[in-house]
Structure 1
Amino acid sequence: MRAQTIAIPFAFFLLIGLMIAATAAGAATPDAARIDPKPGRERVVVAVTALNEGTEVTDFLVPYGILSEAGAEAVAVAPEAAPVSLWPAGQIRPDRDFAGFDAAFPQGADIVIVPAMIDPEDEAVRGWLKAQAAKGAIMVSICEGARVLAGTGLLDGRRATGHFYEHDSREDDFEAVRWQRNARYVVDGDRISSAGVSASLPVSLMLAERIAGRARAEELAARYGVSDWSAAHDSDAFGIGAGEMATALKNLILGWPRSNILVAVEDGVSEVDVAFPLDFAARSWRSSAGLLASAREVTTRNGLTLLADETGALPDGAYVVRLPGDDDAADATLGSSATLREDMLAWIETRFGGGTARFVAIQLEYPVRAD
C-alpha cells in the first residue's frame, strides 16, 4: 500500500520555528517568566512570613536578603508585632503584623515566602496565606515551609518539594500534593517550593532573575558563591544513616559543657551572611548559638531589625565568629560572602570534628565532600 502524502502548510513550519527560537532564547521557560509588581506599584512586594514562636533562620533571612538586593520591597510579616524567635537561633523584629501589612498593601503581596515554622498548623498563618493567594500572590515555600503551605490546601494537585528527610511523611500527610524528589525547587504555576534549608539560596536567585533579570541574578550569585541556581539537585545523596546517628547521640550525651558560639553583627550586615553561620553553629547538637552586637537592635543592609543575644562583656568560654569585613579579634573570621558556608563548616570540623561538620551540613541539605 502506497504511503499517503500529507500536505502541511509552510506557515506551520514557520510557527514551529519561531516557537523553538523563543524557547532557545529562554523566553518560554517557566523559571524565567518575569514577575512584575501589581498595578500602581513601582517595586515587587515580597511578604516574608514568620511565626512569632519559631521560624527557621536561613529559610527566612536568605530570601529576605536576596530579593531585597534584587530590588523588591521585602517585608517581614508575622501574626503579631512582637519579636520573632528564629530557629535554631536568633531573633528579629517583624516589619508589620498581618493586620498592618493588609492595611499597607490592600492588593496583597506579589510574592509570599513561607519558611519552615515551629507550628505548621497555626491557624492565623494558614488563614493569612490563603487570603494572600486569593489576591493573586505567588506562593513560595522554603524547606518545610512546604508543610505549612500544604496545610492550607494551596498545593493540592500541584507538584512540590521540601526537605529530603520529610518526604515520606509529607506524602502520608498530604496525599493530594504531587511530591517530587531530586529538585532544588519546583515551579508549578504560581506555586513554588524548595528543598532543604540551603535551597533557599538557589530558589531566591531564581526569583531574583524573574524580578530583576539575568545580569542582576548573576551578580548576586557571584557575590554569594553560587555558580548554578538551576533546579538540578540529587536529594537521594542525602540521608541520616548510622554514622550521623552515632555523631548526634555522642554530641547530645557527651558534648558537655555546651559550647556557646556567637556570630558578631553590626549595622549594615548582609542578611545572607548572617543566616548560614548562625544556622550551622546551632546544629552541632553540642553547641548553642546567638548574635553578638554592641547594641540590642541591629539594622541589616536591607532594613531588617535583628535582636542581639549578647551586647555586653563576652560570656566566659564563648566562641566569636566574625563575618566578612569584620577584622576584630575572633575565634573564626569568615573570608568572604562567597565562601563563608565552607569556611564555617571547616571551622566546625576543626573545633568538633569531621563527623559533626558532616552532620550539620546534612541537616541543611548542603553538599559535603565524601569521607
Structure 2
Amino acid sequence: MRTFVRVTLTVLAFVVAALALPLTLGGVTLSASFENRYTPRTDGLSPQPVHRAHDPAKPTAVVVVGNEGAVVSDTLAPYEVLATTGAFNVYTVAPEARPVTLTGGLDLVPDLSFAGLDRLLGSAAPDVVVVPALPDLGEPSTRPVTDWLKQQSAKGTLLMSVCNGSGVLASAGLLDGRHATAHWFRIGGFDDEFPAVDWIRGTRYVDDGNILTTAGILSGIDGALRVTERLAGPEAARKAADAVGWAHYSPGASKPMVQNTFEAADAVVGFNTAFRWDKQNLGVLLTTGIRELELAAVFDTYGESLAVTTLAVGLDGAPIQSRHGLTFAPRDTPGAVADDLDRLIVPGADAAARRAADQYAGLAPVYLHGEAGFPFDAVLEDLVRLTDTATTRWTARTLEYPTEHLTLSGSAWPWTVTLRPIGLAVLGLLAAFGVRGLVRRFSPAGAGRRPPAAESR
C-alpha cells in the first residue's frame, strides 16, 4: 500500500511539474490578450465631436456605447448602414461625454452624452437605439446604460441589439418573455443566465416587434437593414446594402444560417492567446473620410483573431472624422512609434487612392482597400498570410461572416506556437527529474547508505 501511495504521489508530482510552466506562462499571456482588447488611453485627451445639423423631419437613430467601450463592428457597422441611407439622424451616445475605447484600441468620441441627447430631442425619445456588446456585461458599470435603455423602451423606442448586446437588454429585463438571439459563442450561457428569454438559434436576426436582436457581430448589418426596411422602406434598405457592399442581404426576412458550434480546430484560439508571445504589433493609420466599416474591418478582424495587436495612429496625431461624421482619436503618430511597429496598416479606399502613408515608406505601408469589395474581405485575406488558416477561419466564424468567396490559403496551423507548451512541459519534467535526483542524493536515507562494495568488505 505504501508503495502504491508513493508511486501515485510521484506521478502526480511529475504531472504538476509538466503543467506548471505552460499554465503559469500561458495564463499570464492569456490574461494580457483579453485585457489588451479594451486598453484605455492614459493621456487624458478629450476632443470634441464634430457638430452635425439635426433634421427634425427625420427619425433619429442612436448607437449607444458604455463608459467601458463596446465591440467595434457592433458599433460601427449598423452606424454606417443607417447613415448611408440618408433617412436618419444618426448619432453615437454614451453615459458621459468622453472618449470610449472600442475593441482593438480604437478610441471613439461619442457625439452626445445621454444628457446631451435629451437636450437635442427635448421630451422625445430616439426612434431607434442600437445596443452593441459591452465588455462589462453584468457589472455595476453597465447600470447607467441599462437604466437608460429601460427609459427609452418605456417611451416606445425600437431597440436593436447586436451580438451579445442582447445580453445587455436581457440584464435590463427587457427580453423577458420575448424571442431573441445572440452570438453563438454566448447563447448557450444566456440560456442559463436569462431563462425567461426564448433564445433562437440558426438565424441572423429575430424581429420581435419593438425589439430586434441579431446574432454575432456582422449580423448587425442584417439587423440594421431590417430596421431600415421598417422605417424607411425596402428600396432604401436595398440601396444601403449595395452601398456598403453587403452581398448577403435578404429582403423582408432573416436569412437562415447554420448555427456555429465549437469545433476541434477552435483550439487554435487557446494557443494564440496563451502561447503566441511574439504577436505582431500593427499600426493602423486613421485618415479623414474613412468609412466606418473600413475601420471596423481592421480593428475587429485582427482583434478577434487574438493573434496580433493593433495601435491606432494618425498622420499628425490629431482626431479624424469618418465619412459619416464620427470622431476618432489616434494614440500617436507612425513616426513616434515606428520602432514598436512590425507593420503599418492603412485601411480605406480613399487612403489607398491618394497613397496617404507613402511618407512612411520605411514602414512599408500596406494599403488594404485598394481594390473594390466588402472591407472585411481584404483584411481576412491579409490575416491568413500573417497567421494561418485555422486562425483565420476561427476569426470569420466569430465575426459570423461567410467566406466561401474568399481565398484563404496558407499555413494550416500555427505549429511553432503549438510546440511551445510542449517544450515548456518537457522543461518542467526535466527540472522535476533533476530535483528528484538531488533530493535522493542529499536526503538522510541516501547519504547514510554505504556503497555496495564497501558493505561487502
Do they superpose with TM above 0.5?
Answer: yes
Q: 1:292 aligns with which of 305, 308, 313?
A: 313
| One of 236, 239, 253 as aligned partner of 1:219 | 239
- Do structure 1's residue 272 and structure 2's residue 297 form an aligned pair? no
Structure 1, gaps ≥5 residues long: 1-39
The alpha carbon displacement at 1:337 in A equals 5.8
Contact 2:289 2:350 in 1 (8 A): no
Q: Which residue of 1 aligns with 2:261?
A: 239
Is contact 1:264-1:320 (8 Å) kept?
Answer: yes
Query: Using the alignment, how far apart are the partners of 1:104 and 1:61 within structure 2?
Result: 22
Partners of 2:383 and 2:330 lie apart in 1 by 22
Match of 2:350 in 1: 325
Q: Which residue of 1 aligns with 2:391?
A: 356
CA RMSD of the aligned region, Å? 2.0
Rg comparison, structure with higher value? 2
Match of 2:93 among 68, 77, 80: 77
Q: Which moved more, 1:226-235 or 1:133-142?
A: 226-235
1:120 is aligned, of 137, 144, 148, to 137
Quote how far apart the aligned CAs of 1:58 are.
0.4
Counterparts of 1:239 and 1:290, CA distance in 2: 31
**Shift in Å, 1:57:** 0.5
Q: 1:101 aligns with which of 104, 107, 117?
A: 117
- Note if contact 1:46-1:75 (Cα within 8 Å) is conserved in structure 2: yes
Distance 1:332 1:242 in 2: 34
Cα drift, residue 280 of structure 1:
0.4
The partner residue of 1:257 within 271, 278, 291 is 278
Please state how far the C-alpha of 1:235 moved relative to its aligned partner.
4.0
Aligned positions of 1:170-185 closer than 5 A: 170-185=190-205
Equivalent residue, structure 1, for 2:14: none
The 8 Å contact of residues 224 and 338 in structure 1, kept in 2 or not, is answered as: no
Please state how far the C-alpha of 1:150 moved relative to its aligned partner: 0.8
SS in 2 for 1:226: coil
Distance in 1 of aligned mates of 2:210 and 2:371:
34
Q: Specify the code of the residue in structure 1 equivalent to 2:278.
A: P
Are the equivalent residues in 2 in contact too, given 1:160–1:180 (CA < 8 A)? yes
Distance 2:284 2:265 in 1: 28
| Identity between Structure 1 and Structure 2 (%) | 31
The 5 Å alignment of 1:145-164 reads 145-164=165-184
CA deviation vs aligned residue, 1:64-84 (integer Å, no higher than 9, x gap): 111111121111111111111
SS at match of 1:46: strand
Q: Offset at 1:133?
A: 0.8
Q: Quick one: distance in 1 between partners of 2:220 and 2:134?
A: 15
Where structure 2 has 5 or more consecutive residues not aligned to the other structure, the ranges are: 1-54, 359-364, 413-457
Number of residues paired by the alignment? 330
**Under a length normalisation based on structure 2, what TM-score does the superposition of the two structures give?**
0.68
Aligned to 2:82: 67
Runs of 4+ in 1 over 6 A off after TM superposition: none
For residues 302-328 of structure 1, give each alpha carbon's deviation from its aligned partner in whole angstroms, at most 9, with x where no partner exists.
111111133241523332222223232
